[in-house]
A and B are shown apart, each in its own frame.
Chain A
Amino acid sequence: MNFLSRENGLLSWLLTGDHKRIAILYLISITFFFFIGGALAGLIRLELLTPQSDLMASDTYNKVFTMHGIVMIFLFLVPSVPATLGNFFIPMMIGAKDLALPKINLLSWYLYVVGGILVIYTMVAGGVDTGWTFTTPLSTHYVNTNVMSTGMAIFIAGFSSIFTGLNFIVTIHKMRCPGMTWFRLPLFVWANYAASILMVLGTPVLAITIVLVALERKVGIGVFDPTKGGDPLLFQHLFWFYSHPAVYIMILPGMGVISETISTFSRKRVFGYTAVAFSSVAIAVFGFFVWAHHMFIMGISNYSMLVFSLLTMLVAVPSAIKIFNWTFTLYKGSITFETPMLYSFGFMGLFTIGGLTGVFLGTSGTDIHLTETYFIVAHFHFVMVGGMLMAFLAGIHFWWPKMTGRMYPEKISQLAAVVTFIGFNLTFFPQFILGTLGMPRRYAAYPPEFQILNVFSTAGATILGVGYLLPVIYLVWSLKYGEIAGNNPWQATGLEWQTQSPPLTENFVITPIMDHEAYDYDWLENQGVKEVASVG
């Protein structure tokens, strides 16, 4: 008897209040959209194989990269770790039976689905070509593509994210089991808590910005319209006030996953637990004060540039604290190289490169040279794909035995991790070079001297595609043929590992009592001795 077998039938899933079932609904839907976004990326890379625009016309290319961005950001990266792994494991990690608001949790999945359907409608109806940033007055006055339906999709999907964040904050504050103090929480919970703050405070600003863009499109006048005295720069401020923190919404939960895997597979408490916990909160707080570094070439004053440049450097500090502390966790640990750990190593290397190039871009002088080139594209793909997607895959493999009760096949998944790493570097590293050489982003055609690096990049994308398809195949296979996992295959310390796999609908038979620190491997070993003693 477990949460999967308790009830059957489609309705028992579509009307469920169980956070674990909702997490699985999310997992299926975001995987679907990930592959749609991936297919669009494939089209982009195929077009860029040759210098001429031959596979598609320029305006089609504009639509393809716009839809790629919208699908990947709003329908995959933002909900990826929080809505699946966070939804599934936050209540279990804090010893609760469910999230505080199960109906709101289900509602947020439905909102996500409605947003997703609207995005598909947009694609079928001919797409949108503003770029995912909806730059005004392009989006309000000049394009005739489906801005309204896309805006509505993002507005609705945004509320899905608000409700998820709100639910997490309430749950983490009010649903912790006895003895689960703030500094005994797993770092995954801290990271999701920080991301939730960003979701709750940032997303409503995006919502009102979209409303204003929609009004301006319908009425023909608005606060962003320069011909009537409005200010397009105001749109940039409001948009990036959400969309910069949004990159931390995307990366923070991934950092939470890495804290769990690094500790588990080096069998050591995370070095500097408190520093890592607070660095998540620091990223959330600083993250709200750096948005104008997206606007250095948009005519903000030199003094603003100076301040936002400085603040951008500051936000690198808590990220570095995490990387250093994870490295110290590895020091003298007994490290093993299971798949989640391989992905975690991938994360640490690639995120470091992505983060450091972010400092280049935060320097206003360098930014003016590099912005709107492939350097930017490479930078955020190192953070989002090399960082977040690696972390997502690390988390999926790490918790797969708990979610399904079955092990994934280890050898082939290690191979997939290595293939992904190689494919990723081959795809995106050449783009750093292309960017410094001056190849602009968002064009279907480019000068012939850039072709060789673009061929590398397209070849890498093909390998990367294989790396992402493999897990889908073997994870589905493992549902039926995988080894039975047992309750705690990794000998990890989190409360989620101390209950059965897959868990009961109510997670725990009796409410657990937390009587030790997080990542206390001595406690776990003594626990084993005690169980043996009581059975004997």
Chain B
Amino acid sequence: MSDSPAVMHAETADSHHEHPAYQRHHFESVAQQFDATNFAMWLFLLTEVMFFGGLFTAYLIMRNWYYPAFVEASHQLNIGWGTANTGVLILSSFTMAMGVYNAHMRRKSGLVLCLILTFILGLGFLGIKSIEYTEKYEKHHIPGFHYSMSSFLNPASDPEVHNSYPDDKPLGLDMARHTELYFFLYFAMTGMHALHMIIGIAILGYLIVRAQAGDFTTGHITYIENFGLYWHFVDIIWIFLFPLLYLISRH
């Protein structure tokens, strides 16, 4: 009795031969597979929104409470590097979108080129970020690690920033101490973003190898599409971080 379903199963198994190799066995069709995995990626991004949401909440509350400290601390950020990095990331989103387009068009060399460009731009972003982090290290603006408030107690002691923002008043000790909170949030938020970039770059490396082997130019676009969504999401997080940390209350 228990044999008969198995026999019937063996017969129905024949019908699977008409499906492409990349279709997983438990899906009825390629379309269902694509729909399901794509939907899963969107849901994952939703969880990421909630994850970063905690940080944004903390930042907005603290910014409201300690407004003068946050404004003066934000003057320490290098707007030139920040803008350059925003450009690098937007460009990388463009190359990623072109990669998805090339995967749809089944052009292998185009896809590989776009992925490599995205990879390089991603590394470029991290490079610039590390220059900025080094600046903070040199000025003792890393919270909990020989943190120095001198730039805020006495703006004249920091001529570089003081020349750009001559209106910055010296902060009282109580308020100046809260600049450390700004930098805590700055490192937590950009650090968490950079971690997502590093993970993305690692996955990109894997995708480049697979793309080079021709795995994604036979109509199997799921991985490329979904990774594209992730990459754009990480980009959008930066699009919120950049104005919040660098730009608002600049003048």
Q: Which residues of B contact A162 (CB under 8 A)?
A: 47
A211 to B192, CA, bound (A): 10
Q: Are B58 and A212 neighbours in the complex by a CB distance under 8 Å?
A: yes
| A231 touches B (CB below 8 Å) | yes
Report if A205-B50 is in contact (Cβ < 8 Å); known contacts: A220-B144, A223-B62, A506-B26: yes
Q: Indicate which residue in A104, A170, A209 contacts B54 across the interface (CB closer than 8 Å).
A: A209
Report if A201-B46 is in contact (Cβ < 8 Å); known contacts: A228-B177, A229-B65: yes
Known: A169-B43, A205-B50, A223-B58. 9 other contacts (CB 8 A): A1-B6, A100-B37, A101-B40, A204-B48, A205-B51, A212-B188, A215-B184, A215-B188, A221-B180
| B159 touches A (CB below 8 Å) | no
| B164 touches A (CB below 8 Å) | no
Mark A329-363 against chain B: 1 for CB-CB distance below 8 A, else 0. Answer: 00000000000000000000000000000000000
Q: Which residues of B contact A215 (CB under 8 A)?
A: 184, 188
Chain A to chain B contacts (Cβ below 8 Å), 30 pairs: A1-B3, A1-B5, A96-B26, A97-B25, A102-B26, A169-B43, A170-B43, A174-B36, A174-B39, A175-B36, A200-B43, A200-B47, A202-B50, A205-B53, A211-B188, A212-B188, A215-B184, A215-B188, A219-B144, A219-B184, A220-B144, A221-B147, A221-B180, A223-B62, A228-B178, A238-B58, A500-B2, A500-B5, A510-B8, A511-B28
A532 to B2, CA, bound (A): 19
List CB contacts (< 8 Å) of B6-64 with chain A. Answer: 6, 8-9, 12, 24-26, 28, 32, 35-37, 39-40, 43-44, 46-48, 50-55, 57-58, 61-62
Q: Are B51 and A101 neighbours in the complex by a CB distance under 8 Å?
A: no
Q: Indicate which residue in A222, A223, A231, A509 contacts B12 across the interface (CB closer than 8 Å).
A: A509
| Shortest Cβ distance from residue B79 to the other chain A in the assembled complex, whole angstroms | 25
List CB contacts (< 8 Å) of B176-197 with chain A. Answer: 177-178, 180-181, 184-185, 188, 192
Q: Indicate which residue in A96, A102, A169, A221 contacts B144 across the interface (CB closer than 8 Å).
A: A221
Q: Which residues of A contact B25 (CB under 8 A)?
A: 97, 506
A205 to B46, CA, bound (A): 12
| Shortest Cβ distance from residue B48 to the other chain A in the assembled complex, whole angstroms | 7
Q: Which residues of A contact B147 (CB under 8 A)?
A: 221
Report if A506-B9 is in contact (Cβ < 8 Å); known contacts: A169-B43, A222-B184, A229-B177: yes
Q: Which residues of A contact B35 (CB under 8 A)?
A: 174
| B145 touches A (CB below 8 Å) | yes
A219 to B185, CA, bound (A): 12
| Shortest Cβ distance from residue A330 to the other chain B in the assembled complex, whole angstroms | 36
| A504 touches B (CB below 8 Å) | yes
Q: Which residues of B contact A230 (CB under 8 A)?
A: 62, 181
| A452 touches B (CB below 8 Å) | no
In this complex, what residue of A is CB-closest to B191? A215
| A2 touches B (CB below 8 Å) | yes
A238 to B53, CA, bound (A): 10
List CB contacts (< 8 Å) of A188-225 with chain B. Answer: 200-205, 207-209, 211-212, 215, 218-223
List CB contacts (< 8 Å) of B68-85 with chain A. Answer: none
In this complex, what residue of B is CB-closest to A223? B58
| A234 touches B (CB below 8 Å) | yes
| B66 touches A (CB below 8 Å) | yes
Residue of A162, A207, A221 contacting most chain B CB atoms (<10 Å): A221
Q: Are B65 and A166 neighbours in the complex by a CB distance under 8 Å?
A: no
| A98 touches B (CB below 8 Å) | yes
Q: Are B53 and A174 neighbours in the complex by a CB distance under 8 Å?
A: no
A67 to B176, CA, bound (A): 40
Q: Are B55 and A208 neighbours in the complex by a CB distance under 8 Å?
A: yes
| Shortest Cβ distance from residue A366 to the other chain B in the assembled complex, whole angstroms | 30
Q: Are A2 and B2 neighbours in the complex by a CB distance under 8 Å?
A: yes
| A173 touches B (CB below 8 Å) | yes
| B143 touches A (CB below 8 Å) | yes
| Shortest Cβ distance from residue A512 to the other chain B in the assembled complex, whole angstroms | 12
Shortest 7 CB-CB contacts between residues of A and residues of B: A219-B144, A208-B54, A204-B51, A98-B26, A204-B50, A97-B26, A174-B36
In this complex, what residue of B is CB-closest to A235? B58
Q: Which residues of B contact A201 (CB under 8 A)?
A: 46-47, 50
| Shortest Cβ distance from residue B238 to the other chain A in the assembled complex, whole angstroms | 17
A216 to B24, CA, bound (A): 44
Report if A504-B144 is in contact (Cβ < 8 Å); known contacts: A166-B43, A222-B184: no
Q: Which residues of B contact A220 (CB under 8 A)?
A: 144
| Shortest Cβ distance from residue B140 to the other chain A in the assembled complex, whole angstroms | 14
Q: Are B43 and A204 neighbours in the complex by a CB distance under 8 Å?
A: no
Report if A219-B145 is in contact (Cβ < 8 Å); known contacts: A201-B46, A201-B50, A204-B47: yes
| Shortest Cβ distance from residue A14 to the other chain B in the assembled complex, whole angstroms | 19
Q: Which residues of B contact A1 (CB under 8 A)?
A: 2-3, 5-6
| Shortest Cβ distance from residue A491 to the other chain B in the assembled complex, whole angstroms | 20
Q: Which residues of B contact A170 (CB under 8 A)?
A: 36, 39-40, 43
Q: Which residues of A contact B58 (CB under 8 A)?
A: 212, 223, 234, 238
Q: Are A205 and B54 neighbours in the complex by a CB distance under 8 Å?
A: yes
In this complex, what residue of B is CB-closest to A101? B40
Q: Are B12 and A510 neighbours in the complex by a CB distance under 8 Å?
A: yes
Q: Which residues of A contact B9 (CB under 8 A)?
A: 504, 506, 509
In this complex, what residue of A is CB-closest to B185? A223
Residue of B26, B47, B177 contacting most chain A CB atoms (<10 Å): B26
A104 to B37, CA, bound (A): 11
Q: Which residues of B contact A2 (CB under 8 A)?
A: 2
Report if A221-B44 is in contact (Cβ < 8 Å); known contacts: A101-B37, A174-B32, A504-B6: no
A102 to B27, CA, bound (A): 11
Q: Which residues of A contact B47 (CB under 8 A)?
A: 162, 166, 200-201, 203-204
Q: Which residues of A contact B178 (CB under 8 A)?
A: 228-229
A1 to B3, CA, bound (A): 7
| Shortest Cβ distance from residue A141 to the other chain B in the assembled complex, whole angstroms | 12
Q: Which residues of A contact B48 (CB under 8 A)?
A: 204
Q: Which residues of B contact A200 (CB under 8 A)?
A: 43, 46-47
Q: Which residues of A contact B143 (CB under 8 A)?
A: 219, 221
Q: Which residues of B contact A231 (CB under 8 A)?
A: 61-62
A251 to B144, CA, bound (A): 42
Residue of B37, B43, B177, B178 contacting most chain A CB atoms (<10 Å): B43
Mark A492-529 against chain B: 1 for CB-CB distance below 8 A, else 0. Answer: 00000000100010100111000000000000000000
In this complex, what residue of B is CB-closest to A503? B5
Q: Are B39 and A173 neighbours in the complex by a CB distance under 8 Å?
A: yes
| Shortest Cβ distance from residue A100 to the other chain B in the assembled complex, whole angstroms | 4
A218 to B52, CA, bound (A): 20
Q: Are A212 and B32 neighbours in the complex by a CB distance under 8 Å?
A: no
Q: Are A238 and B188 neighbours in the complex by a CB distance under 8 Å?
A: no
A500 to B3, CA, bound (A): 11
A220 to B181, CA, bound (A): 11
| Shortest Cβ distance from residue A483 to the other chain B in the assembled complex, whole angstroms | 16
A511 to B12, CA, bound (A): 11
Q: Which residues of B contact A223 (CB under 8 A)?
A: 58, 62, 181, 184-185
Mark A160-181 against chain B: 1 for CB-CB distance below 8 A, else 0. Answer: 0010001101110111000000
A536 to B57, CA, bound (A): 69
List CB contacts (< 8 Å) of A84-107 with chain B. Answer: 96-98, 100-102, 104
A500 to B1, CA, bound (A): 10
